[in-house]
Amino acid sequence: MIPVLNRDDICALTLFTRYPEPGKAKTRMIPLLGADKAAQLQECMTGYTVLRARVWQACRDARVIVNHTGAAGSTFRQWLGPGLYYRPQGKGSLGDRMSHAVDDALRQGFRKIVLMGCDCPGVTPMHIKSAFDALDECDVVIGPASDGGYYLIGMKNNYKSFFTDIDWGTGRVYDQTMRRIREGGLRCHELETLPDVDEAGDIHVWERILQPARSFDSEHSLSVIIPAINESERISDCVKSAFPGAFEVIVADGGSSDDTCKTARDSGAKVISTPRGRAIQMNAAALKARGEYLLFLHADSRLPENFDGHVHQTLSKPHVEAGAFSLAINADGSRYRAVEWGVHQRCRYCSMPYGDQALFMRRETFWRMGGYARMPLMEDHDMVRRIKKRGRIEVVDAAVLTSARRWNRLGVARTVWLNQIILLGARLGISHERLAEWYGKY
């Protein structure tokens, strides 16, 4: 059940997708790709759409609803993570299911609803923003697809005629819908026409999306992403540790009031500005990254020598979906060595590295997961947990050197105790928002 809205939460983006089960997903692609690869395409395109939706959502108080079929909502949540709302599509034609989705959103109090499929990789967060902005002045917004359908439609009321007696799956869908819009005397805003990926002949559309990651030599296809806020004292060393192993370094700044951005640029990084929040910052940077591999590095850490070699070697192993480095704390004392030992044991027996160990993965893997969930904390823990359901996570012996400041702030014992309490609270089902409140009090 979708919770009742607060009065500022008026936008609902509903994504229609199917679970990527071989033989039942992207069936028109099976003659070209085979059942397994067609399902993998469905998985990657759905995750990529969720990632773009999350980047759009970061700029406003809005809901992203995954309108799913082919599996239970709990299965989708295990795949794509928290921060989204999962609703089954129900029965009936595509038009019936779309009409039900609009009705549900209206009953919950949304005043602007946009429905979107997961088959159009050219849709950007800016397209989504433009669609909702258009509904301030218009009754309907539509995004035409080049095959005669549409990849997006938005409205403020449920116009039932849009969803009845439409020849779904044909090249007449857009024309028939536009005829209904004109007959109703409705004001309509059209977005640009984009190609979607439905038939075997459309595969080049998806390959163009992948091209930036595959247009560089394998030795230079690594993007290092650094989320930062007020890190002017440390950002230079962090960025420099990523060169020359990285093809690019992207610093995602969440609103620094010091010289973080200037220092990062002077050190050779690209800098983008995003809303505050580590998951939000990393998702925005990942969407712009061009490397085949992504590495997420905390701003108070430094990468080891030959880190890129470790990344390539690790991700070339069969069934390895992601990796991380060992942890070294930049401070003397047995208590810090004890923390390092504890992290080593956790990784050895549980394969659970955290974000301060510089998680890395293929760009397509990150897409498949839908990016980091929008969470006030523990976004790294959630990502690792979800990836582990897909395959192995390997921790290499080389260590990331990280600042001791967070252990020094509360003391080593108290920091370790607090982290365990937060993990226990999450396992008990306490909301991440409540846990973040607790964490912020210390």
CB 36 within 8 A of CB 24: no
What is the predicted pLDDT for the residue at 283? Answer: 97
Judged by average pLDDT, the poorest of 126-140, 396-410, 418-432 is 418-432
pLDDT in tens, 370-407: 999 998 888 999 999 999 999 999 999 999 999 999 88
**If you compute the radius of gyration of the chain from its CA atoms, what whole number of angstroms results?**
23
Q: Name the pLDDT band for 425 (thresholds 50, 70, 90).
A: confident
DSSP structure class, residue 116: E
3-state secondary structure 162-180: HHCCCCCCCCCHHHHHHHH
The fraction of the chain above a pLDDT of 70, given in percent, is 95
Nearest to 274 by CA among 209, 212, 226, 236: 226
pLDDT in tens, 94-117: 999 999 999 999 999 999 999 999
- CATH ID of 11-211, from 3.40.50.970, 3.30.70.20, 3.90.550.10, 3.10.20.310: 3.90.550.10
Q: How far apart are CA 364 and CA 315, in angstroms?
A: 12
Judged by average pLDDT, the poorest of 4-18, 141-155, 281-295, 396-410 is 4-18
- CATH ID of 216-403, from 3.90.550.10, 3.40.50.2000, 3.50.50.60, 3.30.450.20: 3.90.550.10
Domain assignments of the chain as residue spans, ordered by start:
11-211, 216-403
The fraction of the chain above a pLDDT of 90, given in percent, is 82
Nearest to 260 by CA among 218, 224, 230, 223: 230
Q: How far apart are CA 271 and CA 284, in angstroms?
A: 11
Nearest to 15 by CA among 85, 148, 130, 117: 117
Instruction: For residue 413, give every residue at least 6 positions away whose Cβ sits within 8 Å of its Cβ, in sequence order, or none.
Output: 335
What is the predicted pLDDT for the residue at 441? Answer: 58
Q: How far apart are CA 253 and CA 226, in angstroms?
A: 8
pLDDT in tens, 288-328: 999 999 999 999 999 999 999 999 999 999 899 999 999 99
Judged by average pLDDT, the poorest of 219-233, 272-286, 334-348, 408-422 is 408-422
Judged by average pLDDT, the poorest of 133-142, 347-356, 403-412 is 403-412
DSSP, residue by residue, 112-163: EEEEEES--TT--HHHHHHHHHHTTT-SEEEEEBTTSSEEEEEESS--GGGG
Mean pLDDT score of the chain: 92
Res. 330: pLDDT tops 70: yes
Res. 434: pLDDT tops 90: no
What is the predicted pLDDT for the residue at 38? Answer: 96
What is the predicted pLDDT for the residue at 439? Answer: 67
Q: How far apart are CA 252 and CA 231, in angstroms?
A: 11
Q: Name the pLDDT band for 220 (thresholds 50, 70, 90).
A: low
What is the predicted pLDDT for the residue at 135? Answer: 96
Res. 5: pLDDT tops 60: no
Q: How far apart are CA 48 and CA 140, in angstroms?
A: 25
Q: Do domains 11-211 and 216-403 have the same CATH topology?
A: yes
Q: How far apart are CA 64 and CA 62, in angstroms?
A: 7
Residue with tokens 């003391």: 411
| Three-class DSSP category at 252 | strand
What is the predicted pLDDT for the residue at 368? Answer: 96
| Three-class DSSP category at 21 | coil
Q: How far apart are CA 67 and CA 361, in angstroms?
A: 28
* H or E stretch covering 112: strand 112-117
132, with CB counted inside 10 A (0-12, 13-18, 19+), is buried
Q: Name the pLDDT band for 3 (thresholds 50, 70, 90).
A: very low
What is the predicted pLDDT for the residue at 377? Answer: 83
Q: What is the mean pLDDT of residues 327-355?
A: 94
Q: How many other CB atoms are found less than 10 A from the CB of residue 437?
A: 11
Q: Name the pLDDT band for 7 (thresholds 50, 70, 90).
A: very low
* H or E stretch covering 425: helix 412-427
Q: How far apart are CA 338 and CA 308, in angstroms?
A: 28
Q: Name the pLDDT band for 423 (thresholds 50, 70, 90).
A: confident
3-state secondary structure 257-269: CCCHHHHHHHCCC
Out of 55-64, 121-130, 217-226, the most confident range is 121-130
